[in-house]
Amino acid sequence: MKELFRHRRGLIAVIILFFLYLGAIFAGFISPYHYRSEKRILSYAPPSKINFFDSKGDFHFRPFIYKYKMSLDQNRRRVYEEDKSRAYPIELFIRGDNYKLLGLFPADIHLFGVAAEAKLYLFGADSRGRDLLSRIIYGGRVSLSIGLIAVVITFFIGLIVGGTAGYFGGKIDNILMRLCEMVMLVPGFYLLLALRSSFPPEIGTVKIYFLIITILSFIGWASLARVIRGIVLGLREKEYILAARSVGLSSFKIITKHILPNTSSYTIIALTLSIPSYILGESALSLLGLGIQDPVPSWGNLLKDAMAIVQIKLHPWILIPGLFIFLAVVAFNMLGDALRDIYDPKRKII
Amino acid sequence: MKSLEIKGLNIDFKKRNSFISVVQGLDLDILESEIVGIAGESGSGKTVSTLALADLLPEGNSRISYKSYKIKSNNVDRKQIPYFRGRLISYIFQDPIPSLDPMFTIRYQLKEILKVGSRKEVDDKMIDKLLLDVGLKDRERVLSSYPHQLSGGMAQRVAIAFALGSNSKILVADEPTTALDAHIKKGILDLLKKIRDQRGLSIFFISHDLEQTFYIADRVYIFYAGSVVEYAKSSVIKEKPLHPYTRALLDCIPKRGVDELKQIRGKSPDFGDLPKGCLFYPRCTFAMDICQKKRPPLIEVKKGHFLRCFKEKI
């Protein structure tokens, strides 16, 4: 752990991930609005301007915003201006939409916000006038947790299959590895689509959530099992395994207590490095409308609006969720690289 | 009473698609609380034949067969043998540190083994007593260490403690001193002797170092290319080695005051292409015509002194 904090890129990654997960866990508290809260008149409102100087040029310590004023131009396109008649200061711990803290405790205190008449849209609004920032923070709950859970399931299957194949060898090895190859043979993304399409498109959000996890882990375990098998083949010949056999430990105990723990320096790294692919997998499914369905946000389906190039041109802020995917993916990759540097001194480059 | 007796042991290893024989018709026995030395050069089948005693050879790549396997004069079925691991036979290996799992502390591993051995709850007293028995003084430090934090000698003592913890009657010590520094070798040898005296354990002591073998063992088998070429009480062989190979091995021991180091000419035979006659014939300085044609049998030349060589007979 200490070494991780001394590793510069590792430290950056840990900090980024810490804030991302903190946001996902306390989404209700940190986001100024509920993800469902909408104001259709403010469709595609641009990000709120945060002011420190009022119209008279006086400085205010507490930043404030103005209300949006919507009008239509000659092309009947919405134009937003600031209504400077009244300033709305940004307040901390303000009462707002109801939510449940950690999904348990009803609450309505938000970290920051403005009085209810005005709307604080730091990242702008989406097509239905919902706060993009709040939706991104809520979306992290789905996108960041799917990666973690899917990776745990993948590793569970991968370790058992790889460990068994590597330790016993022979026929068992042959059968299990051919099975892995059959899964790997199909290009990942098409398998993802095919598996998803074997279930009805309109099912509950929770069901879809677990469906995506299952599909993602079904695709991922094979390549991991193959690598684990390779490592176990090497570990099997180690003297301490012979020693463990010579004191009469059962094969099951040898695999679970002595072989698999010794693969951990590899597995921890591989685990970290494979989380991004799960996040991207979920995003891709949701982007195509096969994953998490609106109104529940995920980073993938938030990008759905951005599929039309004209929307990006007119409202560039709808690309911000992509930035969060990018951040999470880069952070996990950096963390994985840092862990590799720390755990595997032979391959150290620095 | 004979603690273990095996007759006519054959071991074959798979090479590509055929099996080659690495141990041929081996007879081996050990009395209760006896130390039996097994000496020979690398690849002579010392380790392989002792691993076969608990069926520890890699499955699929090896084939074992024997005429009879007796524990205290009771015949044992082949299927029962894996059950002996850690209950009847336990092992100490050449390199102590790699034979301990690097991921766990000594305490964790010792407890694990004690659980297999005793099937009871393990308390700290048992652990303390074990470590005391193997002469480890700084017990707290050793117990909380990981294998790489121990010195070779300490790790070997820990490995011996593991073997004792499993509560078996026969200990196979496979070159337990080879990886250690010269000055602590005697300590390990004396410890093995002490354990034998205190616990009445039978010990197979495998080594390529005849001096150590003579020091510790009551009886010595000399192995060459998968078969026994000579065996007798260690004092007998020490006084009067008969087989040319035994003599050659003894000549190879460096002596103080003698600058010249000796080696045995040639190399040990390829198991895929064994000589038709005596296996040692190509390297033997006393070779005769008959040695090339016929393989000598193992015969008792004096009481308790067995030899596989034509020279003493003719």
Residue in A with minimal Cα distance to B85: A248
Which site among B47, B100, B101, B204 would you substitute to test the A interface, given the most A Cβ atoms closer than 10 Å to its Cβ? B101
H helices present in B38-173, as ranges: 46-52, 106-118, 124-133, 139-143, 152-165
Q: Which two tokens stand for residue A307?
A: 């599929």
pLDDT of residue B162: 85
Whole-number Å distance between alpha carbons of A11 and B166? 46
Interface-testing mutation among A231, A246, A254, A255, with chain B (most B C-beta atoms within 10 A): A246
Distance from CA of B90 to the nearest CA of A (A): 6
Mutation target for A interface from B61, B83, B90, B103: give the one with most A CBs within 10 A: B103
Percent of chain A with pLDDT over 70: 98
**pLDDT of the residue at B118:** 64
- Give contacts of A169 with chain B, Cβ < 8 Å: 60
Domains present along chain B, CATH in parentheses? 2-88+168-307 (3.40.50.300), 99-166 (no CATH)
- Return the structure tokens found at A210: 């677990």
Cα Rg of chain B (Å, integer): 20
Contact call for A262 and B60, based on CB within 8 A: no
Which residue has better confidence, A117 or A210?
A210
Interface test with B, best of A247, A254, A267 (most B CBs within 10 A): A247
pLDDT in tens, B244-294: 888 888 888 888 887 788 888 877 788 878 888 888 888 888 888 888 888
Q: Is B91 on the interface with A (CB under 8 A)?
A: yes
Rounded to a whole number of angstroms, the distance from the CA of A168 to the nearest CA of chain B is 9
The per-residue pLDDT for range A173-211, each reduced to its tens digit, is 899 999 998 888 877 778 778 877 777 777 777 888 888
Contact flag B101-A240 (C-beta cutoff 8 Å): yes
Set of chain B residues whose Cβ sits within 8 Å of the Cβ of A249: 86, 112, 116
State how far residue B101 is from chain A, nearest Cα, in angstroms.
5
pLDDT at A323 over 80: yes
> Which H, E and C letters describe B15-61, residue by residue?
ECCEEEEEEEEEEEEEECCCEEEEECCCCCCHHHHHHHCCCCCCCCC
Which ipTM value was assigned to this complex? 0.82
Does residue A235 carry a pLDDT above 60? Answer: yes
| Single-letter amino acid, residue B107 | R
What per-residue confidence (pLDDT) applies to A349? 44
pLDDT in tens, B139-183: 888 888 888 888 888 888 888 888 888 778 899 998 888 878 888
B60 touches chain A (CB under 8 A): yes
Are the C-beta atoms of residues B202 and B32 closer than 8 Å to each other? yes
- Burial code (b: 16+ CB inside 10 Å, e: under 16) for A140-176 equals bbbbbbbbebbbebbbebbbbbbbbbbbbbeeebeeb
Q: Quick one: average pLDDT of B32-38?
A: 91
**Chain B residues closer than 8 Å to A242 by CB:** 56, 91, 93, 99
* Digit-coded pLDDT (tens) for A40-87: 777 777 888 777 877 777 777 888 878 777 788 888 878 887 777 777
pLDDT of residue A348: 45
Q: Is B220 helix (H, G, I), strand (E, B) or coil?
A: strand
Q: Which residue has the higher pLDDT, A115 or B189?
A: B189
Which residue in chain A has the smallest CA separation from B114?
A247
Digit-coded pLDDT (tens) for A254-308 = 888 888 888 887 888 888 888 888 888 888 888 887 778 778 888 888 888 778 8
DSSP strand pairing (A78-89 vs B18-31) = unpaired
Distance from CA of B11 to the nearest CA of A (A): 18
Distances in Å between the Cα of A155 and the Cα atoms of A218, A221, B52 are: 11, 7, 36
pLDDT above 70 (res A22):
yes
Min Cα separation B176/chain A (Å): 13
Q: How many CB atoms lie within 10 A of CB B12?
A: 18
Q: What percent of chain A has pLDDT over 90?
A: 6
Q: pLDDT at position A27, please?
A: 82
Report the C-alpha gap between B203 and B201 in whole angstroms.
Answer: 6
Phi, psi of A281 (to 5 degrees): -60, -45
Q: Scanning every residue of chain B, which has its alpha carbon at the shortest distance from the alpha carbon of A261?
A: B103
Q: Of the candidates A238, A337, A320, A332, which has an alpha carbon nearest to the alpha carbon of residue A279?
A: A332
For residues B9-35, average pLDDT: 86
Tell me, yes or no, if B50 comes closer than 8 A to chain A by beta carbon.
Answer: no
Q: Report pTM.
A: 0.75
Is residue A345 over pLDDT 60? no
Bond prior to A295 in cis (omega within 30° of 0) = yes
Other Cβ atoms less than 10 A from the Cβ of A83: the count is 13
CA nearest to A253 within chain B: B112
What is the average pLDDT score of chain A? 83
Which residues face A95 on adjacent strands? A109
Q: Which of A246, A249, A258 sits opposite B54 (nearest CB)?
A: A246
Output the pLDDT for position A346. 56
Q: Which of A238, A246, A262 shows the shortest C-beta gap to B85?
A: A246
Question: What is the distance between the alpha carbons of residues A13 and A8, in angstroms, rounded to a whole number?
Answer: 9
Question: The tokens of A282 are what?
Answer: 């979920």
B85, B102, B103 member nearest A245 (Cβ): B85
What SS3 state is found at A137? helix
What is the CATH number that goes with domain A136-347? 1.10.3720.10
B159 to chain A, any CB pair closer than 8 A? The answer is: yes
Cβ count within 10 A of residue B222: 26
Per-domain boundaries in chain A: 48-120, 136-347
Picking from A169, A242, A248, the nearest residue to B116 by CB comes out as: A248
Q: In the A/B pair of chains, how many CB contacts fall below 8 A?
A: 63
Are B83 and A257 a contacting pair at CB < 8 A? no
Note whether B87 contacts A248, CB cutoff 8 Å.
Answer: yes
Q: State the pLDDT at residue A18.
A: 92
CA A202 to chain centre: 23
Instruction: Report chain A residues whose CB lies below 8 A from the CB of B86.
Output: 246-249
B314 pLDDT band, cuts 50/70/90, is very low
Q: Measure the CA–CA gap between A343 and A268, rounded to whole angstroms.
A: 9
pLDDT given for residue A350 in this prediction:
42
